[in-house]
């Protein structure tokens, strides 16, 4: 993939991820719950 197209893909992914977390109900809670489980397991 050419650098220009790759950058466009990166920006698109950033926007998609951010907007999904901000505006799709339940997504942020799910991510936080899984992250909490990860940290509880690995931060010992």
Partner 1 sequence: MKILKIALQVTGILLLIPAVAMATLRFDNRSADGPSILFPGGELVSGDLYTGPEPDWSFTDDIFTIELQLDDPLSSRLIFILESEGKIYVISGYMSSALGRLWKHWAVQADEGDGLAVLRIGETRYPRQLLRINEGAVLDGVAAKMLSKYQGATPTPQSIAATRRGIEAGNSWVFELAARGG
What residues line the site for partner 1 (CB under 8 A)?
1, 6, 9-10, 13-14, 17-18, 21-22, 28-29, 31-33, 35-36, 39, 42-44
Residue 32 C-beta: closest distance to partner 1, Å: 4
Residue 41 C-beta: closest distance to partner 1, Å: 11
Q: What is the 3-state secondary structure (H, E, C) of the chain?
A: CCHHHHHHHHHHHHHHHHHHHHHCCCHHHHHHHHHHHHHHHHCC
d(CA 35, CA 1): 32
Residue 1 C-beta: closest distance to partner 1, Å: 6
């Amino acid at each position: 993939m050419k650098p220009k197209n790759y950058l466009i893909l990166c920006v698109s992914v950033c926007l998609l991820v951010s907007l999904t977390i901000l505006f799709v109900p339940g997504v942020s809670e799910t991510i936080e719950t899984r992250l909490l489980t990860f940290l509880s397991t690995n931060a010992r």
